[in-house]
Chain A
């Protein structure tokens, strides 16, 4: 396998139901590179979240294979997958899903407890560091339900990073936040990506975020219909492209214009 590839998904199909079959993913192949900051865009129901869950080993494809960091997920059992997720992948969801009975610091530490079972000084310092990075150094001991929405999402980000994952998967991480908080969260993710080389894959509706990624993957009806690097397009072209299905349409228009 190519050394720069982190996730390799081949011919992923996901179907629900037996008599009435709903196909959420329809033969998706995709590879994600180490340290890459990519966005998955597409309309609701296009299969973005389903794909993200497959890439994060949260769900098994009906057919096809996912290899993450050299591990073929179909070859290991549930517990091994869980442990692998714990060490390799961080998750950020639209809703923060903090454990409300714990403080901010404890929430960040939970993934380390799963590994070792006990608190650990070194990890605790790292958690404080992360909370500082996300700008919550003053809220370390606040109960989770005593924080604002933006603050909670930032705790969730710190939590996703505590085990130094190679890949962070975020499903609409800013979907629940106002535009200021959205900007802050994006800047934060980008900063961490650049500083630690963690790969980020973000499912988003937000053109502003997609615009700033390294790579954009657009999905429709369970298929990838477009996949390009943002650096290859001019700012205005990119902005137009990010409308749903626009990129393909633009290309077709361009092709037709050329033919004439």
Chain B
């Protein structure tokens, strides 16, 4: 073992330029793989976080919207008969307390927030605006939306007639903390509310139209008794949301269960193709590293054929002759991977320091994985040259002198 290692090291030291070139090649490859791999991973994590970080992963709603207008059998020929007025009725989930008690023990859930949601008309200072009212228990809603921590003004409280509005809405309607606003709901009900705080949820659509209000006030405003319009849930592993949702639909009857994955199929397929293109690039990087090492070692076997021949004459076994080259592959892989890790981490560091808004996470398990693959590929690359060294006939090598 030691003997073969000694020879391998000395051969590599002898062919210094060759060794340095190929080791640098491996190092660059490893650095690219680390950088690219982690960039994509972080990019995807950030995209997913943006999509679902502050929204429900699973939503439980009443089975269907109430149809307030329906097409009926015409009484006369050529007539279209519609019955009912087409109003937006908030259909409520009346048994939500039982459901949330049922789900309370599920360890996969990280947040559960009942909410009453409905469209309304906001009138303030002579301007009208269509808004989304969201009646919540602020403490529970915070677990999903983190509203309290993202207030730019005011205080996080929904007591009394206080509500929280978004920055864009406040700006558009020139509202400040303490100002009053009138809310009109489709049923004709109206109420007067006060701006208690202004939030920034980093989404223009949300900041321009969402209003958080107290749950029980919302129940009254939308006239749905003790019901809620939905139960919003976040789970520990967002990517299991569809499985969990399916499981629950067998458990709880008479509700509509939606999960973010079904609603964002396009995003998910984009992520998955992004992921596979990253793997493809990494695969070809590894492949070219492997070919590089393999050809350098093959040349080295030819260069050293006389030395191998004489060593065989002196009693070196086939196994040893093979190991001399396998060790070279292994050493090149380890050295290249080590330098590559340093380069890759440096790249990440400079990227995080100087480029853009995205912060790449140093995922050391992934870095170690790349290094391991590189070492394995380098060792594998040495197999064919090593076999040639093992099979070399000492007499052939010596005769050709």
Contacts and interface: CB of A to CB of B under 8 A. Distances in A.
B1 interface: yes
Nearest to B304: A99
Nearest to A49: B399
A31 B204 CA distance: 100
A102 B317 CA distance: 20
Contacts of B314: 85-86, 91, 110-111, 114, 159
B311 A110 contact: yes
Interface residues of A, number: 30
Interface in A70-91: 78-79, 82-87, 91
Given A59-B395, A93-B401, A100 B14 contact: yes
A118 interface: yes
Contact of B315 (A59, A83, A102, A118): A83
Contacts of A110: 311, 314
B354 interface: no
A178 B2 CA distance: 38
A85 B307 contact: no
A113 B309 CA distance: 16
A167 B344 CA distance: 57
A91 B317 contact: no
A79 B395 contact: no
A35 interface: no
Contacts of A118: 2-3
Interface string A47-76: 001000100101100000000000000000
A115 B316 CA distance: 9
Interface string A18-62: 000000000000000000000000000000010001001011000
Given A93-B310, A101-B13, A111 B315 contact: yes
Given A82-B312, A95-B306, A114-B315, A101 B398 contact: no
Contacts of A101: 10-11, 13-14
Interface residues of B, number: 28
Nearest to B397: A97
Given A79-B318, A102-B10, A85 B3 contact: no
Main secondary structure of the interface of B (DSSP, over half): helix
A159 B307 CA distance: 13
Contacts of A113: 2-3, 6
A17 interface: no
A224 B395 CA distance: 22
B306 to A, nearest CB: 5
A94 B306 CA distance: 12
Interface in B281-336: 306-307, 309-320
Nearest to A101: B14
Contacts of B399: 49
A97 B315 contact: no
B154 interface: no
Nearest to B399: A49
B259 to A, nearest CB: 62
B394 interface: yes
Nearest to B7: A99
Nearest to A145: B14
B10 A85 contact: no
Contacts of A94: 401
A159 B310 CA distance: 11
Nearest to A85: B315
Given A95-B306, A100-B14, A86 B401 contact: no
B395 A53 contact: yes
B318 A85 contact: no
A93 B398 contact: yes
Nearest to A112: B3
B307 A95 contact: no
Contacts of A85: 313-315
Given A114-B3, A117-B2, A97 B309 contact: yes
Contacts of A95: 306, 398, 401
Nearest to B13: A101
Contacts of B398: 93, 95, 97
B317 A83 contact: yes
Contacts of A114: 3, 311, 314-316, 320
Contacts of B319: 79
B395 A97 contact: no
Contacts of B14: 100-101
A166 B307 CA distance: 23
Contact of B317 (A49, A58, A78, A97): A78
Given A58-B394, A95-B401, A97-B401, A87 B1 contact: no
A110 B318 CA distance: 16
A102 B315 CA distance: 18
Contacts of A82: 312, 315-318
Q: Which of A87, A93, A101, A118 has the most CB of B within 10 A?
A: A101
Interface of B: 1-3, 6-7, 10-11, 13-14, 306-307, 309-320, 394-395, 398-399, 401
5 contacts: A91-B310, A97-B306, A97-B307, A101-B10, A113-B6
Interface of A: 49, 53, 56, 58-59, 78-79, 82-87, 91, 93-95, 97, 99-102, 110-111, 113-115, 117-118, 159
Given A82-B317, A97-B398, 16 more contacts: A49-B399, A53-B395, A58-B395, A79-B318, A82-B316, A83-B315, A85-B315, A91-B310, A99-B10, A100-B307, A110-B314, A114-B315, A114-B320, A117-B2, A118-B2, A118-B3
